[in-house]
Amino acid sequence: MFSALLLLSLVLCTSCFYPPVVNISLDDPPEVRWAPLLKVFDVTDLNKAAAEVIDSTVPKWVHHALAPVVVALDKYIPSPYAGEIRGMASHFGATLSDIIILNFAYEISAFCTSIVAQDTSGHVYHGRNLDYPHDVLRNLTINIIFLKNGEVAYRGTSFAGYVGLWTGQSPNKFTVSGDQRVAGVRGGEGVVITRDRQGPADIWPLDPLNGRWYRVETNFDHWLPPPSRDHRRDIANKALNATGQENINIDTLFQVLSVYPVCNGMTVYTTTMSAAFPDNYTSVIRPQGCHWTDSIV
């Protein structure tokens, strides 16, 4: 069954599309470096979408609680992010508190499935689905290329108005996806890091010599069973086993990430990447998510 689903998953993304690309120069001052967003997005549409995310995600009391942060932004938010947030507010024509709240809103209710896998030649691949309960985020998803001295320093996929990265790649160094999933460029350089407020609480590396050539992480500690309603981890494991280490690559990893419910109705975008092959970084927006009926067409 899973072999058939993996073959059919190529059909799932016929409606997918690539997010717009924005170049951000790290040589520019933080307050102005996000101005290129305005070449891609209409300010009115951005503000309307941002308001939808904020109103449906952040409790009203948070707005009042942020008052001291607005007054002393640099005290609470380190450089260069404080300057970038100021600049974002200026570009959007929004209040500083709204941009801060928007960044918090993006942090509150995101979900994901992240997979790191190694093939039989020692190449490491990394993929992720980002799930979020707001359809409007599909219209805010962007690929960002960060430039330093005219060269690509790193790239990633994020949402307009957010000054960090959910998904990113430093060419020929490492890849990372939200919730601290990391992959490197050499065999064995893949690990799931579970963190608490003090630092790493668990390190779960690849162990290909003992047959553990992939790791799947969702939103629950990997050493505990997920809730009975969440089957993403189990289905992803079965799909990877059906694929086999000898067949894992960027394309087959995308197929695994396309199988329901690994990809589901809340999936905003899917990214596949490999730090050793930085030109293969690919993110696609899934305009309607994925559904079980899609997988059995």
Q: What does the CA dihedral 285, 140, 103, 44 come to, rounded to 10 degrees?
A: -170
- Both tokens of 111, joined, read 């979900």
- How far apart, in Å, do the first and last CA atoms of the chain sit? 13
Give dist(CA 24, CA 33) in Å, integer: 6
Give dist(CA 6, CA 40) in Å, integer: 35
In 3-state terms the chain splits into helix, strand, coil percentages (rounded to 5) of 35, 25, 35
Residues forming a β-bridge with 190: 183
How far is the CA of 295 from the CAs of 28, 43, 117, 145, 272, in angstroms? 46, 37, 23, 33, 20
- Specify whether 290 is catalytic: no
Number of helices (H), then strands (E), in the chain: 10, 13
Q: What does the CA dihedral 199, 202, 208, 210 come to, rounded to 10 degrees?
A: 150
Q: Judge whether 49 and 136 are in contact, CB under 8 Å.
A: yes
The one catalytic residue among 13, 112, 263, 290: 112
Residues forming a β-bridge with 183: 175, 190
Q: Judge whether 166 and 157 are in contact, CB under 8 Å.
A: yes
Give dist(CA 204, CA 39) in Å, integer: 41
Q: How many CB atoms lie within 10 A of CB 14?
A: 6
Q: Enumerate the active-site residues.
A: 112
